[in-house]
Every structure is written in C-alpha cells, then in structure tokens.
Structure 1
Amino acid sequence: MIRLLALVFLLAVAIEARHEKYEGHHLYRIWGQSEQIGYLEAYLDLLSVTPAQRAESRKLEALVRLSPEERVEWLQYFDENQMGYKIISDNLAQILRAEESEVGRAKNLTNPNSTITWDTYYNTEAINKYIDEIGAKYPNLVTVINAGLSYEGRQIKYVRISTTRFENLRKPVIFIDSAVHAREWVTAPVALYLIQQLVEGADKELADRVDWIIIPMSNPDGYEYSINEDRMWRKTRSRSHEGADKCPGVDGNRNFDHHWGTRPGAADPCSIIYEGPSPFSEPEIRVIRDAVLSNLERTALSISLHSFGNMFLYAWGNNGSLPSNALYLNLAGVQMATAIDKLKLDKARNYTVGNAAKVLYYTSGTSRDWTRAVGIPLTYTMELPGYDYGFLVPPKYIEQIVTESWAGFVAGARFVLSRR
C-alpha cells in the first residue's frame, strides 16, 4: 500500500512538473489585419487563426499564448498597432493538467480486445503496432512500408492500400499524411480511422477503385516529446542546425522545397515556424517527399491533416495567387467540406474552403504548395475541428472527428473518380 501511494505521489509530481513551464501563461484572442497576424506567426505561438469572413470583427482573429515575460511587451504592441485583444485564460498549465487527467481516464476505458479505439490517444509504439497488425491481417490489401527513421531513430511507417498491389496504373492514387505538427494529436486518429474504414469498412468501392498512401505518424520524435515533456511542442526534435542546442527542431510544414527561405522570420531557429537549414533537411519530411514522388504520375489528391480550424486550404500560400486549376480545387474542397458539415456537431463551425494566403496569411515551404507544384492536381491543408479546446481536443470528441472526416475523404475520392 505504501509503495502504491508513493507511486501515485511520484506520478502526480511528474504531471505537475511536465506542465509547470506554462504556469501563468495567458491565452488571448487577438484580432487584426492579415499582414499583422502573419507577422506575429514568426514571433509568437499562434494557436489558431480564424478566417476574416467568419470573424465578427471582419479581421483575422488568432488565439495566442503569452508567457508572463512576453505579456507586457506584446499587449503594448497590440495597443500601439490598434489590434484588439481579450483574455481567454490566465493559466495554460491548468488547462494542460485537466487535459492530461481526462486522457488518463480515457485510457482506462480502452477496449482490451483492440489495439486502437476511438476514445483515447496512443503513443507512437501503439500506432506502429496497429499498422503492423493491419498489414499482417490483410496482406493482399495492405502493404506496410518501413520508410525510414526519424532524427532520434524512431521508425516511420506508412501503408499502401490497393486491391491490385499498385500495379494497375490506371487507378488514381490518394495521398494522406498526418501529425507533422507534434501537438496536433487528433490528426493521427483520423488517418488511422481512414485505414480501418478502407480495409474493414462495409463500403469496399474506394479501396477497390483507388490506391491509397497514408502516413499516420509523420513526426514521431516531436509527438513523443509532446506526450512526455512539452504538450505544446510543434516541431521536430532535430539538432543538426546552427543554434540547435538552444532551439532544437524544425517546423516540418515549412521544410518543403517551395519558396523555401523567402520569409525572414522562418530563418530563426528559435521561431516556432523555423524552416530548417535547407529544404528537406528533416528525415521525417524526406519520408513524405519520397512517398509522394513514388507514385506522382497517378496521384490525384493529397491532403495534409492539421489541427485546428475547420478549413480546406489550397495553393498558393506564398503570394496569394491562384493555381491554374483554382476552380477545380475550390469545387472539390467544397464537396469535401459539405460532406463533413452534414455530420458536424451543432457547436462546430462550417468548414471554410479557399486559398491559404487569402483565407489566412502568407506561408512558404508548405506541403500543400509543394505537392501542387510537383504536379498533384488537388492538394490541401485540412485543418480539423478544435471546438473550444484548440489542440487539446478531449478524447470524447475523437470518434466524432474521425467519422465526419471519413465522410470528407469519401467525397474527395468520389470527386476524383467522377473526373476520370
């Protein structure tokens, strides 16, 4: 009994210590012009951005984290630049502790007869175990690719789902990646649910008529660090760049070779959007690159899953100009969004579909723009719902999000098939 009490005490201390770095950090809702919010991205932790057409102020709104040291300086900046702001929470650490408690309770309810359920979150080991189990159970449909190692040596796996072993060159390919940003935990269950539905679901049409490549865990090092050390961690954990001792990691969604190096703020290793020392410097992002290029000629649709904001964003994010097939991109995006909105919770926003720079602000080095530039017709950043919780989506919402997202994937796949 004494040992058990000691263990409980040590666990409570560990939880407290893990979140203490965010003690007294405030969350603010701020609003301003697109260029103002875009400027802040390099210097502050923007947790979300709300498109102007949905914001009551008719300006972009953002949720931002301010440490006690930052608060005075940045509130003064907002005042001087005529930006509005409102406090949402005065202690992020308290929110993180509440989330950890709920995730812990959910794990206790997990079905012991299945390695994956839709009521909790799983670590990288459990995710990879599930991928291997699916591959072993359905060898004629699923091929598991051990694509490479992360910076810290974790295996990155993805699946190829095909009834014809990718040998029918007339079939379109759909590519999905998730968990590029470590703290966006809810993206991985969406990718895993997509795999399950394609392999074990009642509707076999999409597995039969489309070949799929799905990467459920793109950034295992950052994800594990987010679970065990810093819940708000976003980047990879690499230390190959100058300044890495102080500021490790690279923003994987700024590391693609499309207008890389064109935003000064992204060149700072301590920036949350640090682009890395060179394009594709991160082994995790090279896995995505190589998987895309492996079947580029047939790939018709690419979606990178992120959280949060209820959006389908398309190119070009670096300058706001539109691809030659912008109407096609918008039409497909609207069809996916409409399918999701039919199933969404009443309190959830409808999905916004549009050009990333026009809906939000300029970005460079993103997977969305790179995949479009190398020739994939339909490419999107899909921002999943956060409801009132942002990145910290409670486990009780996972099933809702994976289910409605599946409807969006179905609509996207059928759009692709209807155009062939």
Structure 2
Amino acid sequence: MARLVVCLLLVFGVVQGRHEKYEGHQLYKVAGTSEKIAALEGHLDILSATPSARSQSGYLEALVRLSPEVRQQWLQYFDENSMPFSKIADNLAEILRDEDASIKTSRIAAKRSGRSISWDTYYNHDEINEYLDQLGEEYPDLVTVINAGLSYEGRQIKYVRISTTRFENQQKPVIIIDAAVHAREWVTPPVALYIIHQLVVAGADSALTNGIDWVIIPLANPDGYQFSIEEDRLWRKTRSRAHANSDACPGVDGNRNFDHYWGTNAASTNPCTITYEGPSAFSEPEIRVIRDVVLQQLSRASLYISLHSYGNMFLYAWGNNGTLPANGLILHLAGTIMATAIDELALEKADPYIVGNAANVLYFTTGTSRDWTRAVGIPLTYTLELPGYEYLFSVPPEYIEQIVTETWAGIAAGAHYVLSSS
C-alpha cells in the first residue's frame, strides 16, 4: 500500500513541502465598488470576485491573499478606502496541505476502481491526453483527436472534435468549449472531460451529436496546470519567458491575451501581476490554439464557453466597457436557460447562478476570450464560472461529480437552444 501511495503522489506531482511559500498567508474577503476591487487587481492576488450579497449592483466581494509582509499595509488601505473586510482563513498553507491529503485519498480510490478516468479525483496533463487518445481509438467514427501544437515548454495540446459527419456537414452548428486557461482552476478539466464522456461514451443525448459538431479543449494551459500541481498551487498564468522581466515574472494571463481591446488596460501591463496580458495579443502558443480553432470553425460556430472557477456565473460581452452586443437579450436568454438547468440540480448550499454582462456583474476586463469570440462573430459566447462552495478555489475531489453532472445539464440545455435556433 505504501508503494502505491508513493506512485500516485509522483503521478500527480504532490510534493511534500511545496506549500511552504504560503505559510502564514491569510485569506480575506474584501467588499467595495467594482472600481475599488478592479484597482486591487494590479497589486494583489484576487482569487475570485463575486457580487456582494448577490444583489447590489456594482458592489463586489473579492477573495484576496495577504502575505505576512504586506498584510498590515493592505488592511490599513482597506480601512482608509471604506472597504469592509473579514478574515476567512488564517493559514493558506494548511488549506493546501488538506487539499493534498484529500487528493491522495481520491487517487487511491480511483486507481482501485480500474477505470481509465473517474469523476472523483484530479488528473495530470499526461493522463488527460492519454484518455483523449483512448477515446479516439475506441470511437473512431465519432471522435477525432487533434494534436494542435506544443505549449511554450513543449507539452502537447490536444483537443477533440466530436462529429457523426466528420465535420463535413456544413449545415450543422459547432459548439466550442475550453478549460484550464487559468492553471489553478483544477475543477474545469473534469467538466470538459465529462461533456466529452456524455457525448461519446454515455451517448446521453443523440440529438446533440447528430445535430451539432463539438470542439472541446480540456486542458488549454498544460504548462501552468502542471506547474500548479508540482510547484505552486496558486499559479494562474502560462509559463512563457518571451517578455521583458520574464526571468523574475514568467507567464501570461491567457484570458487577457486575446486581441480584443488588448493593451488598453494599464493594470494588465505589468509582467509581475497575475493578469499580465503579454507582450502582444496572441503571444502565447496556448492561446493561439484556441484562436485557430475558433477561426477554423467560425462560419458554423454558434456557442463558445470558456470554463473557469469559481463564482457561479455566466458572463457575456462586452467586458471592456459594460455595453451590450446587438444580441444582448439573446445572450442573456441563452445564459439563463443554461443557468436554470444547472440550478435545478445544484446542491442546496450552492449560490444560484448569476447571468449578466461581465463588466456590470464584476468589473472591466480586456483581452478576454469571451469578448474576442463575440467580436469575431460567434453569436453566443460566455465565461462560465463554476461553483466553489465554501472551499472557494480549492474544490475537494468529492464534489467533482456533482459539479460535472450539473454543468453538463446546463451545457446540454444550451446545446438544445442552439439546435432550436439553427
């Protein structure tokens, strides 16, 4: 048994002592106007932002991490700027160690099950790619695995095309989904994999495979994802070193690297912030994979969803200025249909999903996939923020099955809306 545990830890990269950098770091919820919360983005690690009390427009709560070295100055700043705050965790390192222990247990149980993949644990980059290849071999008439290119550090980025007509029927709409653009959002790849499973293995709804072609990218940022597993659990960006000051501050925020009002937000120009936009739009090979998929399917693409965590939200354009696209009412309707389907299956303790314009629900952002895909012509595009419950960004493995199941219901509802509208 001890040998099995060691093997599983090595596979997932759980390294003893890797959380020491967060010893004594505390988590605070800070409330303020959207402008005040947005102003923190260039200085602090904002782990999430959600509407305060899920009601008051323009007023947000942000979860921020404060190290012992800067804690007092920021608490003073919050006081001076009338931003109420409360401490919700005393030692981040302890939270992360607890997460490791939970994953260790879930990996052992998953191994014993004998299944190639399950919905009660997390998997690394190689395991995810192996599963995609397995599906391609077992379902060659339905699944095509695309080796789209290499990440900055040389990892293969794969995605699947799911089609009963090999993408040759130009009358069928296309749905595009990506996951793990932000490395630390571990719960997003399982959702993408579960959608694939439902469409391919379970055959859950034949209308959705007969009538729609699908492109699903389960792991868009493999370098950052692996780094978050092996080195730094809170790593969010890519791992590129092709910009100024990259030795000290590597990586780019993939969801600020799209060519929509890129370079217009001063808070995203500093390489050392978590929202660094990169040296140029589409500078990241990982983001170019998403760009190329979208442009290849643009004539038929009807729905694009980027999976993120956490916050229980469907966010739509325009995030850079708060105005609505010409089809804003339809965006809201389709988002509400998906959110309602999820809420019907959600845990009682889960917050109801919010559907709305990204800038009005949260704050202004630039260079996002949601806005770029809408700008180039996909009619329905969303950032989907999955649940975190009281565990916030660190969702225990035992909640994965709940999240993937309810989210599939929402995606399926959105797909049926696409079918009815096409």
Which bin holds the TM-score, normalised by the shorter protein?
over 0.9
1:38-187 aligned at under 5 Å gives the runs 38-52=38-52, 54=54, 59-110=59-110, 111-187=112-188
Uncovered stretches (5+) of structure 1, i.e. residues with no partner: none
1:118-267 aligned at under 5 Å gives the runs 118-201=119-202, 202-267=204-269
Kindly tell me: are residues 166 and 3 of structure 1, through their superposed partners in 2, closer, same or farther at Cα, counting changes over 3 Å?
closer
Q: Give me the TM-score of the superposition, normalised by structure 1.
A: 0.96
Displacement of 1:59: 2.3
Code of the aligned partner of 2:82: Q
Secondary structure at 1:297's aligned position in 2?
coil
* Per-residue Cα deviation, 1:22-77 (whole angstroms, up to 9, x for no partner): 00001001100110001111211111111146168982111110011121111111
Aligned equivalent of 2:29: 29
1:331-410 aligned at under 5 Å gives the runs 331-410=333-412
Q: Judge conservation of contact 1:31–1:57 (CA < 8 Å) in 2.
A: no
Q: Give the distance between the partners of 1:5 and 1:134, measured in 2 at CA.
A: 27
> Does 1:285 pair with 2:287?
yes
Q: How many residues are matched?
A: 417
Code of the aligned partner of 1:162: S
Q: Give the distance between the partners of 1:338 and 1:55, measured in 2 at CA.
A: 18
Q: Give the distance between the partners of 2:266 and 2:318, measured in 1 at CA.
A: 18
Secondary structure at 1:87's aligned position in 2?
strand
Secondary structure at 2:30's aligned position in 1?
strand
Kindly tell me: are residues 56 and 317 of structure 1, through their superposed partners in 2, closer, same or farther at Cα, counting changes over 3 Å?
closer
Uncovered stretches (5+) of structure 2, i.e. residues with no partner: none
> Does 1:319 pair with 2:317?
no
Q: Give the distance between the partners of 1:200 and 1:260, measured in 2 at CA.
A: 39
Q: Judge conservation of contact 1:262–1:364 (CA < 8 Å) in 2.
A: yes
Kindly tell me: are residues 418 and 247 of structure 1, through their superposed partners in 2, closer, same or farther at Cα, counting changes over 3 Å?
same
Instruction: Tell me which moved more, 108-117 or 319-328.
Output: 108-117
Displacement of 1:203: 2.1
Secondary structure at 2:339's aligned position in 1?
helix
Q: Give the distance between the partners of 1:197 and 1:71, measured in 2 at CA.
A: 46
Instruction: Tell me which moved more, 267-276 or 39-48.
Output: 39-48
Q: Judge conservation of contact 1:49–1:62 (CA < 8 Å) in 2.
A: yes
Instruction: Tell me which moved more, 98-107 or 36-45.
Output: 36-45
Q: Give the distance between the partners of 1:355 and 1:55, measured in 2 at CA.
A: 14
Q: Judge conservation of contact 1:52–1:359 (CA < 8 Å) in 2.
A: no
Code of the aligned partner of 2:47: L
Kindly tell me: are residues 299 and 6 of structure 1, through their superposed partners in 2, closer, same or farther at Cα, counting changes over 3 Å?
closer
Q: Judge conservation of contact 1:174–1:211 (CA < 8 Å) in 2.
A: yes
* Per-residue Cα deviation, 1:346-399 (whole angstroms, up to 9, x for no partner): 000000000000000000000000000000000000000000111110000000
Code of the aligned partner of 2:34: S
Q: Give the distance between the partners of 1:156 and 1:56, measured in 2 at CA.
A: 41
Secondary structure at 2:19's aligned position in 1?
helix
Q: Judge conservation of contact 2:324–2:357 (CA < 8 Å) in 1.
A: yes
What's the C-alpha RMSD, in Å, of the aligned pairs?
Answer: 2.1
Q: Give the distance between the partners of 1:372 and 1:342, measured in 2 at CA.
A: 28
Moved over 3 A (4+): 1-8, 55-58
Q: Give the distance between the partners of 1:128 and 1:6, measured in 2 at CA.
A: 22
Q: Give the distance between the partners of 1:126 and 1:206, measured in 2 at CA.
A: 27
